[in-house]
Amino acid sequence: MSDPDAKSETVLALPSNMTPSPVTSKGHPCSSLSVTYVSRRKLVEVVDGLLGVMTLSSTCKKPCVHSGSDEIAADNAWLAKCPSALSSFDQIIASMEGKKIALFLDYDGTLSPIVNDPEKAFMSPEMRSAVKNVAKFCPTAIVSGRSRDKVFEFVKLKELYYAGSHGMDILVPYSGSQSITNDDKEAKLFQPAREFLPMISEVNNSLVEATRSIKGANVENNKFCVSVHYRNVDKKDWKLVADIVDNVLNAFPRLKLTTGRKVLEVRPVIDWDKGKAVEFLLRSLRLDDPEIVLPIYIGDDRTDEDAFKVLRQRNCGYGILVSQVPKETEAIYSLRTPSEVMEFLNSLVRWKEQSP
Ligand SMILES: O=P(O)(O)OC[C@H]1O[C@H](O[C@H]2O[C@H](CO)[C@@H](O)[C@H](O)[C@H]2O)[C@H](O)[C@@H](O)[C@@H]1O
């Protein structure tokens, strides 16, 4: 059912208790724990903070192969706090107590390795096959900052659910059926930021124009949000990128800024994120009974923390952070790389195949 190109798309009404509302600012711009939301009013005050976040993300290097004892101790402390989901696999399975798994997967940095060119963040055939196999017995959703169409182009699996634009563009089955092979005709769209579409298009054009002269800067239109990539920008120009984004956003008081992996993300000022998207999907797919369903969310980025937090607060299911370095996180478990994510998914498949 979840083909993002489904022709008969209808926009769903907001559930009354999940109405997105405007927010101002949440979290400190330099906090790695919470997603950084920067309201327009605050942006001028925090451009330096923004630069701090940009700089901070550049200093997070993967551990050196020849780790010294300090690194090993830090690594052990990290794994004690956020154990490997592979080492803890038996424990995770044991805690399921016969429940069904609902799987939520981030895309970039989780299913595909981080690469310099966002257009080339391809998923390996082996990873695609792992996701396809796991989706045969776990309802599986991709929750990405990318536009829904673009992430579908990468993943190419019709049997999954897709939430693009950080959860602001969700395709769900009309009936709310748990089936993962529904007909396209039953699909409906949930787009809580639909009214922002013209504004996002306008800010995208302004950002493309304003960053044109900065070598390496890349603006990506993700439909309900816009990514300004600075991964390929010389570090000396990062302040310029922050200033330009600040300047452009001056004209858009209803847009806010979040930060990701060498990317600044412009999005509508509504209280909606990947965590809300996970809650919405669980409800829509009738998978929100914690006695029956155990949700697992795997992601690598700050924006995934909202989803980890929701699972932690519900005291049901597990957030799994993909990271090679210790991080402040709301996740319960960790995996180091997309390869380990694949190993985890394959372990789930093997376990299911061996289950009576
Ligand atoms: O929620 P996600 O699926 O993880 O998407 C978040 C952003 O991912 C992409 O950017 C990141 O990956 C790129 C490719 O590896 C990399 O070049 C970039 O530096 C990363 O920030 C995507 O391009 C963004 O639009 C997404 O918002």
What is the C-alpha to C-alpha distance for residues 299 and 144, in angstroms, rounded to an integer? Answer: 9
Ligand 1 centroid to residue 90 C-alpha, Å: 32
In the chain, % of residues over pLDDT 90: 71
Ligand 1 centroid to residue 136 C-alpha, Å: 27
ipTM over 0.95? The verdict is: yes
Write the pLDDT tens digit of every residue in 327-338: 999 999 999 999
pLDDT of 221 > 50? The answer is yes
- For 217-257, give the secondary structure using H, E and C: CEEEECCCCEEEECCCCCHHHHHHHHHHHHHHHCCCCCEEE
Ligand 1 centroid to residue 111 C-alpha, Å: 11
CA 149 to chain centre: 15
> Which pLDDT score, from 0 to 100, does residue 97 have?
83
CB of 58 sitting under 6 A from ligand 1: no
Ligand 1 centroid to residue 353 C-alpha, Å: 33
Between 88 and 68, the more confident residue is: 88
pLDDT of 30 > 60? The answer is no
Q: Please measure the distance between the N-terminal and C-terminal CA atoms of the chain and give it in whole angstroms.
A: 29
Ligand 1 centroid to residue 155 C-alpha, Å: 14
The closest residue, in CA terms, to atom 14 on ligand 1 is 118
What is the C-alpha to C-alpha distance for residues 150 and 82, in angstroms, rounded to an integer? Answer: 32
Checking DSSP bridges between strand 263-268 and strand 293-299, what pairing results, if any? unpaired
Contacts of 202 by beta carbon, 8 Å cutoff, 6+ apart: 252
Write the pLDDT tens digit of every residue in 183-202: 445 678 999 999 999 999 99
Checking DSSP bridges between strand 161-164 and strand 140-143, what pairing results, if any? parallel
CB of 276 sitting under 6 A from ligand 1: no
> Which pLDDT score, from 0 to 100, does residue 172 have?
82
Between 276 and 3, the more confident residue is: 276
- The phi and psi torsions of 171 (rounded to 5 degrees) equal -105, 120
Cβ atoms of residues 229 and 262 within 8 Å:
yes
- The phi and psi torsions of 315 (rounded to 5 degrees) equal 55, 40
C-beta atoms surrounding 326 within 10 Å: 16
For a mutational test of ligand 1's pocket, the pick from 261, 274, 308, 320, i.e. the residue with the most ligand atoms closer than 8 A to its C-beta, is 261
- Indicate which atom in ligand 1 lies nearest the CA of residue 108: 4
Least confident window among 11-25, 162-176, 332-346: 11-25
Band (pLDDT 50/70/90 cuts) for residue 23 is very low
Q: Residue 164's beta-bridge partner residues? A: 169
For a mutational test of ligand 1's pocket, the pick from 108, 144, 308, i.e. the residue with the most ligand atoms closer than 8 A to its C-beta, is 108
What is the C-alpha to C-alpha distance for residues 189 and 265, in angstroms, rounded to an integer? Answer: 23
Cβ atoms of residues 109 and 301 within 8 Å:
yes
Ligand 1 centroid to residue 42 C-alpha, Å: 25
Shortest CA distance to 227 belongs to which of 236, 240, 217, 212? 217
Indicate the average pLDDT of the chain.
Answer: 84
Write the pLDDT tens digit of every residue in 47-72: 456 666 666 555 444 444 456 788 88
CB of 301 sitting under 6 A from ligand 1: yes
What is the C-alpha to C-alpha distance for residues 58 and 45, in angstroms, rounded to an integer? Answer: 22
| Secondary structure class of 214 (helix, strand, coil) | coil
CB of 305 sitting under 6 A from ligand 1: no
pLDDT of 42 > 90? The answer is no
- pLDDT, mean of residues 121-141: 97
C-beta atoms surrounding 205 within 10 Å: 14
Ligand 1 centroid to residue 319 C-alpha, Å: 19
CB of 107 sitting under 6 A from ligand 1: yes
